[in-house]
Amino acid sequence: MMNMAMQMMEMHSKEMHSKEMPTSGMDMAMMQECIEACTASEQACTMCAGSMMGDNMARVTGMCLNTADMCSTMTRTMMRPNGMHAESMMAMMRATMMMCTATADECMMHADASEDFRMCAEACRQSAMACQKMTDSMTSTISRG
Amino acid sequence: MMNMAMQMMEMHSKEMHSKEMPTSGMDMAMMQECIEACTASEQACTMCAGSMMGDNMARVTGMCLNTADMCSTMTRTMMRPNGMHAESMMAMMRATMMMCTATADECMMHADASEDFRMCAEACRQSAMACQKMTDSMTSTISRG
Amino acid sequence: MMNMAMQMMEMHSKEMHSKEMPTSGMDMAMMQECIEACTASEQACTMCAGSMMGDNMARVTGMCLNTADMCSTMTRTMMRPNGMHAESMMAMMRATMMMCTATADECMMHADASEDFRMCAEACRQSAMACQKMTDSMTSTISRG
Amino acid sequence: MMNMAMQMMEMHSKEMHSKEMPTSGMDMAMMQECIEACTASEQACTMCAGSMMGDNMARVTGMCLNTADMCSTMTRTMMRPNGMHAESMMAMMRATMMMCTATADECMMHADASEDFRMCAEACRQSAMACQKMTDSMTSTISRG
């Protein structure tokens, strides 16, 4: 399944080797290997960082990382007006709200351990509220037609 | 609102300067400026890349970028077992399915322009189906209690 | 090569199914398929969005996307004091500076087409300068030893 | 400094409200607030996840997260042929190699604690090697002119 992007690259290999392209003269097979190795490393690191099973802090750490990624995706989506798809965007807003709220709750359970958790919870709650406001506004826009 | 992370950094500035830390001796105020400048640049680039308003390809480009980010977030979340929160994860699955399906449809409208679009649509559909299967499986697990 | 993370997941499958884990009862093989499908979709979309070969705007779009990702990575790295590795961080700073500067130059070539490009170029230059200041400061810290 | 992207959005607000745009009728000021809140939450979570100062595992966790992000950025850059800028790309390759190598070393120090670390180290080493090969190949291409 991984090969779809590789097939695209294959398909373009001729253009990639044309003199005008910045990829001219580069070894495409080697680049494919490099992409696979980097992706494998990305995944192993993400996995490794979250793997301290049973550890008391593992859950809150994992949830914070998920929220960081979801919020980054949400932010980028909002910055691409041309690519907006209202229905999908509202589903993403809902996912962001739920993730942020759950993470805020989890962080608050560790509030005594460190002030970081309290502050992170606060940022998450504000993010959830901002997404709620945005969703309400989009819903009323859509229903007004 | 941006200052939450900065406040956390402030709060830890003493530890950051302790001899054992890799940050010992670094200029923290300068690093905060650098973080702000990099974030501003990230956002401007994301915006700029998606800004060719009215252009025929702008919508499909924007949707592909959104799907790429959503899928990356979904993947990372699945790789962090400790951080899993079933309800949020299912909301993320739903957002991924909707975004993938909408992008596949949009790509297919350009299928005549380039084979890339057909292949991208195919990858998006497979991703939507895999998320659907995953969601069904999680739902039945939850309902079985 | 992709299977490293999958092997890790395999290795932990027993813990993942223990009653205390949020992954208890989930179908791990199905989740692996879902991870592969999402990763394939992410890669195909990234590729597809950047594939309008020969198009006049394709180069600046691609460079903006690269800079957005590099700046995001740089920002996150600066926010993880415990994970800092001075030598690697300086190599990342250098990569960020070069990518930002090249993107600023490319954007300026399109400044007449849209004000977006001029603003993006400005954000990139500020980011390059902030990274330069940070690098100089780290170098002098290291040489003072 | 954060306002560059906001200014771009401002500049386009008229187009964004035209009937043909998917953003038509949306509250742009509210969306800007939502972007700021999500970004703040992303940064706080990244910071929070990496904040267990002094903890034995904090360094390896932070380094793994940095490597995951750097590898993701490297991968995406390789998938955007149009946006390639040889000099910047080689600087990114160098940063990836250094980060991967340092993380592999750090992981190996914890190899007795869990097999995850050994596997992650292996993926990182393979990634560093693939980037080295790629860099050598690009260098010889450039020097051949």
Please give the average per-residue pLDDT across C68-79, as a whole number.
Answer: 89
Q: Which residues of A touch C55 (CB under 8 A)?
A: none
DSSP conformational letter for C25: T
- Quote the pLDDT of residue B79: 80
Distance (Å, rounded) from C-alpha C118 to C-alpha B34?
20
User: Residue D101 is encoded by which pair of tokens?
Assistant: 């190598």
Whose tokens are 């499958």? That residue is C13
Residue B27 and residue C72: Cβ atoms within 8 Å? no
* 8 Å CB contact of A80 and B50: yes
Cα A110 to Cα A97, D41, D48: the distances in Å are 20, 17, 11
Distance from A56 to chain B by nearest Cα, in Å?
A: 10
- Using the beta-carbon criterion (under 8 Å), do D40 and B15 form an inter-chain contact? no
Mean pLDDT of B27-42: 74
Indicate if the pLDDT at residue B29 is higher than 80. Answer: no
Give which of A137, A105, A144, A145 is closest to A124, Cα–Cα.
A105
Q: Whose CA is closest to A90, among B1, B99, B131, D46?
A: B99
Dihedral Cα B37, B41, B42, B43, nearest 10 deg: 100
Averaged pLDDT of chain D: 80
Please write the tens of the pLDDT for every residue from C15-37: 777 777 767 777 777 777 777 77
- Tens digits of residue pLDDT in A63-104: 999 999 999 999 888 888 778 888 999 999 999 999 999 999
DSSP state of D52: -
Q: Calculate the average pLDDT of chain C.
A: 80
**Residue B134 near residue B93, CB atoms below 8 Å:** yes
Q: Mean pLDDT for chain A?
A: 80
By C-alpha distance, the chain D residue nearest A9 is D79
pLDDT score for C73: 93
Distance, in Å, from the CA atom of B68 to the CA atom of C38, rounded to the nearest integer, reads 9
Mean pLDDT of D15-35: 72
Would the pLDDT of D86 be above 50? yes
- What pLDDT does residue A101 have? 95
Q: How confident is the model at residue D1 (pLDDT cuts 50, 70, 90)?
A: very low
A99–B85 CB contact, under 8 Å: yes
pLDDT of residue B54: 54
Query: pLDDT value at position C2?
Result: 45
Chains A and C: how many Cβ contacts under 8 Å? 64
Q: Is 70 exceeded by the pLDDT of residue B36?
A: yes
Distance of alpha carbon C116 from alpha carbon A81, whole angstroms: 14
Average pLDDT over residues B125-131: 89
Q: Residue B2 pLDDT more than 60? A: no
pLDDT exceeds 60 at position B52: no
Chains that touch C (3 or more CB pairs under 8 A): A, B, D
Q: How far apart are CA C73 and CA B25, in angstroms?
A: 23
CA-based nearest distance C118→chain D, Å:
10
Q: How confident is the model at residue B1 (pLDDT cuts 50, 70, 90)?
A: very low
Q: Which residues contact D106 (CB under 8 A, 6 or more apart)?
A: C85, D59, D60, D63
Q: pLDDT digit string (tens) for A14-49?
A: 777 777 666 777 777 777 777 777 777 777 777 677
Asked if the model's pLDDT at residue B70 lies above 70, the reply is yes
| A104-111 mean pLDDT | 91
Q: Which residue from D15, D44, D76 is facing B53, i.e. has the nearest CB?
A: D15
| Mean pLDDT on C74-99 | 89
Question: What whole-number percentage of chain B has pLDDT above 90?
Answer: 23
* pLDDT higher at A92 or D17: A92
CA distance D58 to chain A (A): 9
The residue of A70, A97, A114, A135 whose CB has the most chain B CBs within 10 angstroms, and thus the best one to mutate to test that interface, is A70
**For residue B92, what pLDDT band results from cuts at 50, 70 and 90?**
very high
Per-residue pLDDT at A120 exceeds 90: no
- CA dist C30 to A42, B129, C33, Å? 21, 11, 5
How many CB atoms neighbour CB A16 within 10 A? 21
User: Cβ–Cβ of D52/C82 closer than 8 Å?
Assistant: yes
Region B50-67 average pLDDT? 77
Higher pLDDT, B142 or A78: A78
pLDDT(D54) > 60? no
**Which residues in chain C have Cβ-Cβ distances shorter than 8 Å to B48?**
60, 64, 107, 116-117, 119-120
**pLDDT band per the 50, 70, 90 thresholds, residue A1:** very low
Question: Beta-carbon neighbour count of residue A7 at 10 Å?
Answer: 16
A65: nearest CB among B58, B83, B91: B83
Q: How far is D144 from chain C (nearest CA, A)?
A: 23
Q: Which residue has the higher pLDDT, D143 or D35?
A: D35
Lowest mean pLDDT among B48-62, B127-141, C117-131, D103-117: B48-62
Closest alpha carbon to A42 in B81, D99, B120, B88 = D99
Confidence (pLDDT) at D31: 72
Rounded to a whole number, what is the distance in angstroms from the first to the last CA of chain C?
Answer: 40
Report the pLDDT value the prediction gives residue D2, as an integer from 0 to 100. Answer: 45
pTM of the model: 0.85
> Residue D136: pLDDT above 90?
no
* Cβ contact, residue pair D40, B72, below 8 Å: no
Contact C39 B126 (CB under 8 A): no
Selecting from B4, B46, B98 the residue whose C-beta is nearest the C-beta of A88 gives: B98
Do B137 and C27 make contact, defined as CB atoms within 8 angstroms? yes
Q: What are phi and psi of B84, to 5 degrees?
A: -65, 135
Query: Which residues of D sit within 8 Å Cβ distance of B?
Result: 1-5, 8-9, 12, 15, 21-22, 35-37, 39-41, 43-44, 46-48, 51, 53-54, 59, 68, 72, 76
Q: For chain C, what is the radius of gyration of the CA atoms?
A: 21
Q: How much is the average pLDDT of B25-33?
A: 73
d(CA B133, CA B139) in angstroms, rounded, equals: 10
Question: Which value does ipTM take for this structure?
Answer: 0.82
User: Does A52 score more than 60 pLDDT?
Assistant: no
Q: What is the pLDDT of residue B11?
A: 73
Q: Which residues contact A93 (CB under 8 A, 6 or more apart)?
A: A74, A131, A134, A135, A138
Q: How far apart are CA D113 and CA B7, in angstroms?
A: 34
Q: What is the pLDDT of residue B66?
A: 92
pLDDT tens by residue, B95-105: 999 999 999 99
Residue with the larger pLDDT of the pair A7 and B99: B99
